[in-house]
Amino acid sequence: MESNAAWRSLPGTTILEKCASLGIACGAQIDIRDLDKTGRRYGISIFLFFERDLVRTHTIEQVQEEYKGVPEFERPYIRVDRFLAFTKKNDPSFEQTLREFPLKIEIAFIGEMRSADGSRLVPCVSGLMPFLDELDVDAEPPQMNVQGHL
């Protein structure tokens, strides 16, 4: 699998070192789109949490077990790729909104979890979604330079 090779090629020997080489560290604020791209490229399972206490006090395995009978979109957490797919499907302007007002996710946990088939450990990252009262919707959108970078 290409993402496994990409992950192995990262500098560092531990998950924390490899994630740090990608700019992912606990406490970092990272654009949700960048998290999604990084997760896909390097085979990292990335989860978004909507409850601060839950992301800080539970492992992803504990949360998955606790909410296994709850429909995916009613849980207090979701995979980043599923969240983005759902919001883009239900709001065609969401992509443009993210370009104008990037959604920053606070990284809360970096570690490992069992793969879906249970055969191996895979890197995982959990992040906290900002609360609506923390978003500054009156702020000016970030300005792009000529090359399209912030």
Contact, 88 vs 95, CB < 8 A? yes
Interval 19-71: pLDDT, tens: 999 999 999 999 999 999 999 999 999 999 999 999 989 999 999 999 999 99
In a domain, 140, yes or no: no
Confidence tier at 138 by pLDDT (50, 70, 90): low
In a domain, 150, yes or no: no
Number of domains comprising the chain:
1
In a domain, 148, yes or no: no
In a domain, 35, yes or no: yes
Give the model's pLDDT for residue 97.
87
φ, ψ of residue 34 in degrees (nearest 5): -70, -40
In a domain, 147, yes or no: no
In a domain, 77, yes or no: yes
Domain with 21, as residue range(s), is 2-132
